[in-house]
Structure 1
Amino acid sequence: MREKLARNISIYRKERGLTQEELAQILGLSFQAVSKWENAQTMPDISLLPQLSRTLEVSIDKLLGYVSQDKPITIYEEEYKTPEYYWGTEPNKVCYQILQWMPPNTHLKLLDIGCGEGKDAVFFARNGYDVTAFDISDAGVEKTNRLAEKIGVHVDVFKADILDYRLDTHFDIIFSSGVLHYIKPDFRKEILDNYKQYTNPSGLHVLNVFVHKPFIAPPPEKEPNAHNWYSGELLTHYHDWFIQDSSEVIFDCNSSGIAHKHAMTKIIAQKIIL
């Protein structure tokens, strides 16, 4: 709890463009008090939480690390509430490549970040991986559980916000498809460093991001919480890992019922320990 609160105070303070001194001044405290909160040396007095919440423009629940239930963060929350699977149930093609690169001949732990309705997470579980997955959508988590039950496999799936959630246990494979654009630029290094830290030696990261191209029109879906990535940006976070693949494609999409195009960068990187 203390570490999560410390991290969230720091994150939301920076989002509001406040220094530790400015936040302390608003709260009538010394900047050392705020510094100790963010270093998890102390915690704010409970009587300060309402004012802290108002100042940082975030609910107390979210400040304490609980995902807010009162409003959807993803535009797909309503789409996932339908009986049909919005993205289908066939796994991403790269999932088959992961089976080749790192088959589960031994016990391998895999994390699916932003699992959506669970098609990839369930595929991995069906093929013998120990799968953990999370998504911001309540409906997505429910459908992941439903699909896993139908196939007869177990996926440890839960609700979490990619901006707030940090790893505290190690994985052999970290996988994410079409989700990392929800990470604001200021927090990409911190979040990816956390994922790298909690990856076992010889582990894989298989990630893709939508990248901005001036010659491709914006997608028809209005994503209020999406943030552009740029060609080559994802690769810079893995300069110290072995790069198995770093490719970019432009592809047609009809997910919204309106034909459009996306540009996407994929990276497959391995953690090599000498």
Structure 2
Amino acid sequence: MKDKLARNISIYRKEQGLTQEELAKLLGISFQAVSKWENAQTMPDITLLPALSTILEVSVDKLLGYVAQDKRITIYEDEYQTEDYYWGTEPNTACYQVLQLIPPTKPLKLLDIGCGEGKDAVFFARNGYEVDAFDVTNAGIEKTRRLADRTGVHVNVFKADLLEFRLDTHYDIIFSSGVLHYMKPEYRADIFDNYKRFTNENGMHVFNVFVNKPFIAPPPEKETNAYPWQSGQLLTYYHDWLIRDSAEIVFDCNSSGIPHQHAMTTMVAQKITTSP
């Protein structure tokens, strides 16, 4: 609990635009105390939790990590309620790139961030990877389990929020498709640093992210929790890794029933910390 509380205090403090000193002043304590909370060296006195909850505008339960979500993050919770698979069951083309670049000729552990209904996670499991996957939607998690069962493979799927979840175990591959626009700009450095630290030597990150272009109209879906990316931004978080592939594509989409286009940056980066 201590680590989760430490992480949540830091996340929600930043969400409110407060420094450690400002939060400490509002609580009538020293900023060193807040620093120790966020570094998981100590925990707040129980008498401070109601005031801390009020200032950070989250429930005590959520602050302590007992509630994964208390508001809807994505429109797809509703879309995934149907029997049909909203995105289909064919894997993203980037999945084949993973197979080519880092095939499971030995046991490899893979994480699918924002797995949706599970088509990519199940593809990886079917091809021999040890797969963990998470999504913020209950319906998506249930459909991932069903697809895995139907395919005869195991995927360790669980519920988590991209903004709150941090790795505490190492992976060989971290994969995410069509999800990183939910990452608030002020959290990106912290989240990518966490992902990079918990990636094994020679491991890879395979990500894509929607980017804004003046010649492409905004998508018809009105997602209030989506945040813009610009061309090249994703690569700046990987200046110290080997960029195995990077491209920008424009593609047609009909996901909402309204034909539209997206621009997307794709990236494959590899962790190399020792000399060849």
Same fold (TM over 0.5): yes
- Measured in 1, the distance between the counterparts of 2:70 and 2:39 equals 30
Match for residue 26 of structure 2? 26
Match for residue 89 of structure 2? 89
Match for residue 152 of structure 2? 152
**Stretches of structure 2 lacking an aligned partner (at least 5 in a row):** none
Structure 1 residue 70 displacement after superposition: 4.0
Structure 1 residue 250 displacement after superposition: 0.7
Q: Is 2:67 the counterpart of 1:63? A: no
- Measured in 2, the distance between the counterparts of 1:61 and 1:249 equals 42
Match for residue 171 of structure 2? 171
Structure 1 residue 25 displacement after superposition: 2.2
Matches within 5 A, 1:1-274: 1-274=1-274
More deviation, 19-28/111-120: 19-28
Question: Tell me, what secondary structure is at the counterpart of 2:80?
Answer: helix
Question: Tell me, what secondary structure is at the counterpart of 2:272?
Answer: coil
- Measured in 1, the distance between the counterparts of 2:18 and 2:267 equals 34
- Measured in 1, the distance between the counterparts of 2:22 and 2:238 equals 34
Structure 1 residue 62 displacement after superposition: 2.4
Q: Amino acid of the residue matched to residue 99 of structure 2?
A: L
Alignment TM-score, normalising by the size of structure 2: 0.96
Q: Amino acid of the residue matched to residue 212 of structure 1?
A: N
Q: Deviations 1:136-172 (Å, cap 9, x if unpaired)? A: 0011111100110111100000000010100011111
Question: Tell me, what secondary structure is at the counterpart of 2:77?
Answer: coil
**RMSD over aligned Cα atoms:** 1.2
Question: Tell me, what secondary structure is at the counterpart of 1:48?
Answer: helix
Q: Deviations 1:198-232 (Å, cap 9, x if unpaired)? A: 11111111000000112211111011111001100
CA distance 1:153–1:49, shift in 2 (3 Å): same
- The 8 Å contact of residues 67 and 160 in structure 1, kept in 2 or not, is answered as no
- Measured in 1, the distance between the counterparts of 2:243 and 2:24 equals 44
Alignment TM-score, normalising by the size of structure 1: 0.97
- The 8 Å contact of residues 172 and 199 in structure 1, kept in 2 or not, is answered as yes
- Measured in 1, the distance between the counterparts of 2:22 and 2:104 equals 51
- Measured in 2, the distance between the counterparts of 1:91 and 1:57 equals 39
- Measured in 1, the distance between the counterparts of 2:65 and 2:248 equals 35
- Measured in 2, the distance between the counterparts of 1:38 and 1:49 equals 14
- The 8 Å contact of residues 68 and 161 in structure 2, kept in 1 or not, is answered as no
- Measured in 1, the distance between the counterparts of 2:69 and 2:270 equals 36
Question: Tell me, what secondary structure is at the counterpart of 2:269?
Answer: strand
Structure 1 residue 49 displacement after superposition: 1.6
Q: Deviations 1:59-118 (Å, cap 9, x if unpaired)? A: 223222344444321110011111111100000011111111111110000000000000
- Measured in 1, the distance between the counterparts of 2:30 and 2:241 equals 41
More deviation, 25-34/130-139: 25-34
- The 8 Å contact of residues 248 and 264 in structure 2, kept in 1 or not, is answered as yes
- Measured in 1, the distance between the counterparts of 2:224 and 2:185 equals 15
- The 8 Å contact of residues 4 and 65 in structure 2, kept in 1 or not, is answered as yes
Q: Deviations 1:3-48 (Å, cap 9, x if unpaired)? A: 2211211121111111222212222222222122112111012222
- Measured in 2, the distance between the counterparts of 1:137 and 1:24 equals 35
Q: Deviations 1:209-267 (Å, cap 9, x if unpaired)? A: 00011221111101111100110000111111111111000111110001111100000
CA distance 1:71–1:15, shift in 2 (3 Å): closer
Structure 1 residue 53 displacement after superposition: 1.2
Question: Tell me, what secondary structure is at the counterpart of 1:78?
Answer: helix
